[in-house]
Amino acid sequence: GQNIDQPTEMTATEGAIVQINCTYQTSGFNGLFWYQQHAGEAPTFLSYNVLDGLEEKGRFSSFLSRSKGYSYLLLKELQMKDSASYLCAVRDGGFQKLVFGTGTRLLVSP
Amino acid sequence: GAGVSQSPSNKVTEKGKDVELRCDPISGHTALYWYRQSLGQGLEFLIYFQGNSAPDKSGLPSDRFSAERTGGSVSTLTIQRTQQEDSAVYLCASSLVQNTEAFFGQGTRLTVV
């Protein structure tokens, strides 16, 4: 089976840096995705990691350690518009389906 | 099409009635997913189609739920004898191949009264 854990909620201040962690236990592994979801909207893709290490894309970076079953999403220079839910998803290696964690609700305050 | 299209965007139905939700994936995308999201919750996996392979139905919560994908394109999720606990947003996503990002539709908000 699959088990994907994220903190339920985090708060941060505009301009700060925040790290959202994700741990997973799956029967196989074929990539980890991060999505952003604003309230009432569909999730949108942020990043994809399949090899260990850091992937940087503008203000957002994502890290993966396959041996530890661990990833994080790093958001720099936070803006009010970054207030959203951040969803970690793992592609199961055996069945290839994409399984999501429960998401982390981030609130950015002035 | 330009993106994943789902219809209807909203559906209110009476308990016990059947409903059909439609998903039009991005043209050429071979992988298609259905998820359910209850208010304030994460995405619950329902079913996954990949090309002509047998679908992964392991997430369907009961035998009242079924889905099909005709001609490798449009998919329909059917819920029979709807219950109040079926109320949720049903999201469809598609990807070009199985190891690339999935693009989501705007979802169908289902309310069972």
pLDDT in tens, B71-83: 879 999 999 999 9
Q: Are residues B102 and A87, on separate chains, in Cβ contact within 8 Å?
A: no
**DSSP-derived pairing of the beta strands B44-50 and B31-37:** antiparallel
Q: Are residues B101 and A33, on separate chains, in Cβ contact within 8 Å?
A: yes
Q: Are A73 and A20 in contact (CB under 8 A)?
A: yes
* Phi, psi for residue A104 in degrees, rounded to 5: -115, 120
Please give, rounded to a whole number of angstroms, the shortest distance from the CA of B62 to a CA of chain A: 18
Dihedral over alpha carbons A18, A82, B87, B7 (to 10 degrees):
-140
Q: What is the pLDDT of residue B53?
A: 86
Mean pLDDT on A14-25: 97
Q: How many CB atoms lie within 10 A of CB B18?
A: 11
Q: Are residues A31 and B99, on separate chains, in Cβ contact within 8 Å?
A: yes
Residue B63 in tokens: 């035998």
Q: Are residues A44 and B104, on separate chains, in Cβ contact within 8 Å?
A: yes
Mean pLDDT on A82-91: 96
Q: pLDDT of B8-38, one tens digit each?
A: 999 999 999 999 999 999 999 999 999 999 9
Mean pLDDT on A10-20: 97
Residue A38 has pLDDT above 90, yes or no: yes
Looking at chain A, which residue has its C-alpha nearest residue B108? A42
Q: What is the pLDDT of residue B96?
A: 87
Q: Are A13 and A109 in contact (CB under 8 A)?
A: yes
Chain B residues with CB under 8 Å of a chain A CB are: 31, 33, 35, 41-45, 48, 50, 56, 58-59, 91, 93, 98-107
User: B73 in helix, strand or coil?
Assistant: coil
Q: What is the pLDDT of residue B98?
A: 65
User: A65 in helix, strand or coil?
Assistant: strand
Q: Which residues, other chains included, contact A25 with Cβ-Cβ below 8 Å and sequence gap of 6+?
A: A2, A3, A4, A69
Q: Are residues A48 and B43, on separate chains, in Cβ contact within 8 Å?
A: no
Mutation pick from A22, A98, A107 vs chain B, by most beta carbons of B within 10 Å, is: A98
Q: What is the pLDDT of residue B39?
A: 85
From A42, A50, A101, residue closest to B42, measured CB to CB: A101
Residue at token pair 């236990």:
A25
Which residues in chain B are contacts of A22 at CB distance < 8 A?
Answer: none
Q: pLDDT of A41-55, one tens digit each?
A: 999 999 999 999 999
Q: Are residues A102 and B42, on separate chains, in Cβ contact within 8 Å?
A: yes
Q: What is the pLDDT of residue A25?
A: 92
Q: pLDDT of A50-70, one tens digit each?
A: 999 999 999 999 999 999 999
